[in-house]
Amino acid sequence: MECSGYAQRRSDARKKRCGATNDNRRGRITGETCDFVAVPKDLMGFVIGKKGSSIKLIETESGSRITSDSDQGGFSVSGNEGQRARAKQLIYQRMEEAQTKRGRKGYPRQLVKIPSEFEKHVKGKGGDNLRNICTVTGAQVFPRGNKLFELKGTEKEVKHAELLMKGRVASARIKTDKICCYVDDRNLPKDCELKLVPLEDEDRMVLPGSHSQYRLKPSEEYELLGGACSRGETVPSYQNDLIANALECLKKIKRGIESNKFHEADMWCHVGTVIIREPDEVDVEETWDIQEVLDKLKKRNWRLAFKGGVLVSKHSLQETFGSPKTDKDYMSRYDLSFISPQGRSVRCKVWVANQDVQTKLEEIPIPFNDVRHVVEELHFDDELTRSRCRGWLVLPSQKYLQADIIFPGCQVDCRLMIRPKTTIELHNSGDEEVQTKVLADFLSRKLTFTIPDGLHVPKEELPAGFLFNHMRCSRRTLYEPREGFTLIISEESTWCSDVRGEQNTETTDLHLGREEWDRALSGKDWEPEMITSKLPEFLQFVYQVQDFLTTSNCNSRG
């Protein structure tokens, strides 16, 4: 981006300090690009430092050339792409240091930069989103131009507002291609009406900004009899629409694989609970038939979230499905979720090897082909951590299809997913590449694993601008409950935070798959119609697992 006419207003003193002409700074002679970094006028002096000491240090460390413009309120940065990115990062760090110091003096505030293409997602129609963020967090949010927002309030209020704003950006970056939701009347009495039932505290999710959470249930009590009450092999009313949506998404992925955009894909479903977030109070008082519910969902009047996990005993699993296959090399996997200063979701995956593994870690294949969308590999400083762990920074997988199936008459719901995957390393550009390397360096130095405590993340020492809001430890085993189908059981310990509070949960995640899909979608030799033709049988497999869970839970309660 070429610098605009504000450069002509620079003073001779600035020219002397930087030792270059305006033309040079604009890149007209050198051919270099010049970026403008907006800084509030009351922070300019802090970024420049006494007698220009801070800005000179930033120039030296980044290799860039920087000139200030008090009229425009900011700095122009010249240099190659990497130099400009590093200089901007250092300027932002100085701004955050100033905000921190002011906060200690009783005036907590923060500047948050939102990429221009995502400002509308943060503001919302007519500013609705910003008003909601202020209401939920208690912070004040003021647009300051140049993609900057000023946040004021207590430290917790400001941090909460920042999380909500950057969370909206992160969600917009990986927006799902196709989202659909269905209601399955399996196990429901004829003409059964439905109602919204509030979730108990232990069943709620930590969802930024979400106060009320509900599940869709029958409006009248009746006994859940599992398979004895099911409709057997009858075709669900939504099956054809689900197949059509899956077919459309698989065709897009197939074209992407043929053009080498992706290397493979996967198709599977989780078992858990579909949560309806913050419905209107009047809706909570009503009862609904299935068509009315579908209309609400289609019009996006109800916002949905999905909480994976069920309660089930190992004894019941082995009694029903036989002995599992366990991984002999790795004992667990950790998933850490961060939001970058630019509002990008970045995840860290760390595999912990069993203590008696003799083979070099780099020679052991990662189970379930889990390394995808790699950005950076981690190289741990701590000796014990390095001897037991392998880790990568990865970008979250893009979803081409997310289909939630609500079963009001069953113990659990399910979410069907179709995703493209790539095994190649992904390299971001500019600020994002620098920020990723900063996070990778921090995690390589600071992540530690100990036998009694597991993986430890020093949350209070995160690099400036990064937010850490989720960590999960999973121990997985593989069952084959039916020929050609797989059931991965993951015992999970989860920590999550929305800044206002933290939640620690223990649950069991169920991941249902089909071996034929796994084999086909791991390469190029498949056709979308071949995959979707197996969906009806897969739905019957989902029913089988639901019946097992209902029976298992009833027996455990009895």
Cα torsion 217, 220, 222, 227 to 10°: value is: -40
| pLDDT tens per residue, range 160-190 | 899 999 989 998 888 889 999 999 998 888 8
> In angstroms, rounded to a whole number, what is the distance separating the alpha carbons of residues 422 and 195?
42
Helices (H), 354-482: 383-388, 430-446
Same domain, 327 and 438: yes
Q: Which contiguous run of DSSP H or E holds residue 3?
A: none
Indicate the pTM of the whole model. Answer: 0.72
* Nearest Cα to Cα of residue 346 among 369, 378, 373, 379: 373
Tens digit of each residue's pLDDT (9 = 90 or more) over 289-324 = 999 999 999 888 898 999 988 888 778 888 888 778
Let me know if residue 537 belongs to a domain: yes
Q: Contact at 8 Å (CB) between 436 and 279?
A: no
| Amino acid letter for position 179 | I
HSE on the CB side for 234, CA within 13 Å? Answer: 12
Residues 361 and 323 in one domain: yes
The verdict on 382 and 359 lying in the same domain is yes
Q: Are 394 and 318 part of one and the same domain? A: yes
Average pLDDT of the residues in 65-94: 84
State the Cα–Cα distance between residues 303 and 278, nearest whole angstrom: 7
Q: Tell me the one-letter amino acid at 280.
A: D
Last residue of a domain, one of 153, 173, 193: 173
Question: If pLDDT is split at 50, 70 and 90, which confidence band does 327 have?
Answer: low
Q: Please check whether residues 210 and 137 belong to one and the same domain.
A: no
Q: What is the C-alpha separation between 106 and 149, in angstroms, rounded?
A: 20
> Alpha-carbon distance 413 to 179, whole Å?
16
- Total count of domains within the chain: 3
pLDDT at 231 over 50: no
Lowest mean per-residue pLDDT among 268-272, 336-340, 412-416, 546-550: 546-550
Residues 495/523, Cβ–Cβ less than 8 Å? no
Please give the mean pLDDT across all residues of the chain.
Answer: 82
Do 98 and 208 lie in one domain? The reply is no
In a domain, 7, yes or no: no
Using the predicted structure, report yes or no on whether residue 5 has a pLDDT greater than 60. Answer: no
Instruction: Say if residue 272's pLDDT is above 50.
Output: yes
Q: Note whether 206 and 229 are within 8 A (CB).
A: no
Q: Are residues 163 and 311 in the same domain?
A: no
Residue 405 pLDDT more than 90?
yes
**Pairing of β 448-450 and β 454-456:** antiparallel
Question: Considering the domain boundaries, does residue 20 fall inside one?
Answer: no
As separate numbers, helices (DSSP H) first and strands (DSSP E) second, the chain gives 17, 23
More confident call, 51 vs 339: 339
183 and 315 co-located in one domain:
yes
Half-sphere exposure of 457 (CA within 13 A, CB side): 24
Same domain, 270 and 408: yes
Q: What is the pLDDT of residues 329-380, one digit of tens each?
A: 888 899 999 998 888 899 999 999 888 776 677 777 766 556 677 888 899 9
1 has pLDDT over 50? no
Q: What's the confidence (pLDDT) of residue 513?
A: 94
Tokens standing for 472? 């999960």
Question: Looking at residue 242, what is its pLDDT?
Answer: 97
Q: Is residue 299 part of a domain?
A: yes
Task: Quickly state the pLDDT bin for 233 (edges 50, 70, 90).
Answer: low
Of 103, 127, 144, the last residue of a domain is: 103
Q: What pLDDT, on the 0 to 100 scale, is given for residue 30?
A: 44
What is the predicted pLDDT for the residue at 2? 36
Same-domain pairing of 408 and 527? yes
Average pLDDT of span 469-498: 89
Domain around 80:
34-103
pLDDT 10s digits, 234-261: 789 999 999 999 999 999 999 999 998 8
pLDDT score at 499:
78
Whether 14 is in a domain gets the answer no
Is it the case that residue 444 has pLDDT exceeding 90? yes
At 136 the pLDDT is 81
DSSP element (H, E) containing 384: helix 383-388
Q: 373 and 442 in one domain?
A: yes
Q: Is position 19 within any domain?
A: no
Dump pLDDT digits (tens) for 409-422: 888 999 999 999 87
Q: Is residue 195 one of the residues assigned to a domain?
A: yes
In a domain, 256, yes or no: yes
Q: Is the pLDDT of residue 520 over 80?
A: yes
What CATH code is carried by the domain that includes residue 69?
3.30.1370.10
Per residue in 113-136, pLDDT tens?
888 889 888 988 888 888 888 888
Of 533 and 7, which is predicted with more confidence? Answer: 533
Domain match, 289 and 353 both: yes
When mean pLDDT is compared across 225-234, 384-393, 545-554, the lowest value belongs to: 225-234
Q: Is the pLDDT of residue 13 over 50?
A: no
Domain boundary among 43, 74, 103: 103
Q: Which of 7-11, 373-377, 406-410, 535-539 has the lowest mean pLDDT?
A: 7-11
pLDDT at 540 over 50: yes
